[in-house]
Each structure stands twice: as structure tokens, then as C-alpha cells.
Amino acid sequence: MDNSDSEAGRALAITLARHSIHNIQPDLDVLKAGRPIYATNPDSLMRASQVIAIEFQTIAAANNYWRP
Amino acid sequence: MDNSDSEAGRALAITLARHSIHNIQPDLDVLKAGRPIYATNPDSLMRASQVIAIEFQTIAAANNYWRP
Amino acid sequence: MDNSDSEAGRALAITLARHSIHNIQPDLDVLKAGRPIYATNPDSLMRASQVIAIEFQTIAAANNYWRP
Amino acid sequence: MDNSDSEAGRALAITLARHSIHNIQPDLDVLKAGRPIYATNPDSLMRASQVIAIEFQTIAAANNYWRP
Amino acid sequence: MDNSDSEAGRALAITLARHSIHNIQPDLDVLKAGRPIYATNPDSLMRASQVIAIEFQTIAAANNYWRP
Amino acid sequence: MDNSDSEAGRALAITLARHSIHNIQPDLDVLKAGRPIYATNPDSLMRASQVIAIEFQTIAAANNYWRP
């Protein structure tokens, strides 16, 4: 699971998480204003990485874990 | 999993999360009053996106990950 | 998964979450006193909807996602 | 999944969660002192019900969802 | 799932969670200094029990739920 | 699941979590500045260990739990 296929899966997980946030808050200026707050806060970074981890679970299962 | 089928699944995930919240707080005015608070708070947005991610796990499994 | 069967599953998810809370705090007056606090707080509503989402995962799997 | 078998599963989920907490904090007096704090706080009750929901996922899967 | 096999699984879940924390914070004195803080805080105890519950999900699945 | 194979899986789980955080906050100086804050805070350590636990679920499933 440690190859270029799964890297695309990680990128998709980040995209899905971003789309959720854009859906709730479509105003990009508001999102940009929040970025310095959460991107320098370890707990916020952990929260974000948890969402990515959950989305990745789904993507990895959907791709049958990129098994050959 | 990156097509129009899964986009419908994402939309359903958001709907399910909203229905849960409406079930607990049916007063739309209260929900509207809370919106400016959480929609501008990065941690709240992350929380919301986590719920969507969990609901999506269920929907994606239910649809067998939209495999052809 | 978007039909009356899964609606019953959502209702059961809410019931299971409520039963957990009643198990820990059986005094309904205390629960009622807490309601105005969490039902008007977006983060609390998100927390509650996350528990419902997790319970629903189990119920949906148990019902084999209401596949025909 | 809505019968006496799954009720035993819910009870076991609560037991497992309690055992985890006792493992970390074996002093029952400390746990009793904390009880009035978390049992009257909606967010703490939600946190506890989330742990129960996660433990129940495992128990339900282990019992093959009490399918006949 | 309620036997000595699964008890070993619970113990392993606690070990895995501890190893994660040691990996991030290898200084045992810092960890010991934090213990009185989180071990007397109900929300921290709940957080810890949630991590154990998630690790246990993996261990239980890995052991095919100790089915005979 | 308690061998050198799964240890590599644990290491990968930590790597995946770190990559998520680096993706959101690529400035290593900011990350280093945050480290003393979260690495001495029990709740932050628990949050981090939860993300590792979730990533490990995916890795363990992908490796079919290192079954022989």
C-alpha cells in the first residue's frame, strides 16, 4: 500500500476533506482567514489529519487496498 | 470512486449529517443563529467534515464503492 | 440506502445513542437541564451527529445495507 | 439487531469502555469524584457515548450482527 | 468475544496506544508529569479509552474476533 | 499481529499521519515550534495516537492483518 497508487489515494482523501469544508463554508476569503489559525495549531492539524485518515480508509477500501 | 456516482454519495453524506442535527435541534432559527459561529471556525469546520467522512464511509460501503 | 428501511436505521441509531447517555446519566432532569446547552451549541450538535453516524455504521452493516 | 442479544452487546460495550478507564485510573475514589463532573456535562456524555458506539461496532461484528 | 483471548487483545490495544504516545514523546519524565493531569480528568480518560477502542477494533478483526 | 511485520505497519501509520500534517503545514519551523506544545500535553498526545490508530486500521486491513 506504499506506492504511487496509494499516494493518489492520499491526495484524493485531502480533496474530499476540502470539498466538505467548501460545501459548508463556500466563502474562500473566510477559509483563507482561518488558515493561519488552524495551520499553526497542533490540535487543529491533528483534527485535520484525522479527517484525512478517515477519508483515506474509504478510498483504500474502494480500491481494494491497491492489491495487485 | 471519483465520479458522479460518488458525488451523489457525498451529497447524501451531508444530508444525513444535517438530518441528525435537525433531529436534535428542530428549530431552524437556532440552527441559523449558530451557523456564523461554526462556519467561520476552522475546528468546527473540521468537526463537520469528520461527520461527513464517517457518513460517507457507510454510503460508500452500501454502494459497494460504486464498483462497475 | 435512501429509503424507508434506512430511515428506521437512522431512528435506531439515535435511540442507541440516547440509551448510552441514559445509562451513564439516568436522571432525566439532569439530561433535560443540559439540553438547552448542547442543542444550541454547534460543536455539541456536531458531536451528537458523529455518535449517530457511528451507530448508523453498525446498524447499516447489520442490515447488509438494506440491499434487496 | 434490535433484540435481547444486541442488548447484551450494548452492556458489554459499556463494560469494555469502563475497563479501559479503570486500567488507566485504578483509583475508584478518583473516578467517583469525576463522575458528577462528566455525568452532568452534555459534551462529556457525548464523548462517553461515542466510545460505547465504537466498542459496540466491534462486538456487533464479532457476533456477526446477531444474524439468525 | 468475552474470554481470555480477547483480554489479551485488550491488553495489546493498550500497549499499541502507549507505544504511539512514546513514539511522539520519548521522554518518560514528561509522560509521568502529564499522568496526574489526564488520569483525573474524565474527558481525558474518555479520550484515552476511545483510542483503546479503535486499536481493539483492529486487533479483534486481525484475530477474526477469536471465533472458534 | 504482534510481530515485525505489524511494527512496520505502525511506523507507516505514523508516517502517513505526519505526511497529512506536512501537507497542510509545509513550514517545518512552524511544526517544530508547535512540538513542545502538543508533545507535553496529554490530550494532544491522545489526539495524535488516535490518528495513528485510524491510519493503522487501514494499513492492517491492506496487509490482511499479516495473516500467514
Contact C53 B58 (CB under 8 A): yes
Q: Report yes or no: A13 and A6 within 8 Å, Cβ to Cβ.
A: no
pLDDT at position B31: 94
Contact C47 B48 (CB under 8 A): no
Residues of chain E with pLDDT under 50: none
Q: Report yes or no: D30 and E45 within 8 Å, Cβ to Cβ.
A: no
Q: What's the Rg (C-alpha) of chain F?
A: 14
Contact D61 E65 (CB under 8 A): yes
Longest dimension (CA), chain B: 43
Q: Report yes or no: F50 and E48 within 8 Å, Cβ to Cβ.
A: no
Q: F1-60: per-residue pLDDT in tens?
A: 666 778 999 999 999 999 999 999 999 999 999 999 899 999 999 999 999 999 999 999
Among D12, D44, D54, beta carbon nearest to E43: D44
Q: Which residue of F has its CA nearest to A50?
A: F51
- With beta carbons under 8 A apart, name residues in chain C contacting B43: 43
Contact F38 A50 (CB under 8 A): no
The amino acid sitting at E38 is Y
Global pTM? 0.96
Identify the CA nearest to B2 among candidates A8, A20, D3, C9. Answer: A8
| Residues in Cβ contact with F48 at an 8 Å cutoff, skipping those fewer than 6 apart | A46, E20, E21, E24, F17, F38
Distance (Å, whole) CA A12 – CA D4:
42
| Residues in Cβ contact with A34 at an 8 Å cutoff, skipping those fewer than 6 apart | B40, B41, B42, B45
Q: Which residue of A has its CA nearest to B12?
A: A20
Number of other residues whose CB lies within 10 A of the CB of residue B68: 3
Q: F52-68: per-residue pLDDT in tens?
A: 999 999 999 999 999 98
The amino acid sitting at C4 is S
Cell reading at F7? 511494527
pLDDT average, residue stretch A18-35: 94
Q: Do chains A and E touch (3 or more CB pairs under 8 A)?
A: no
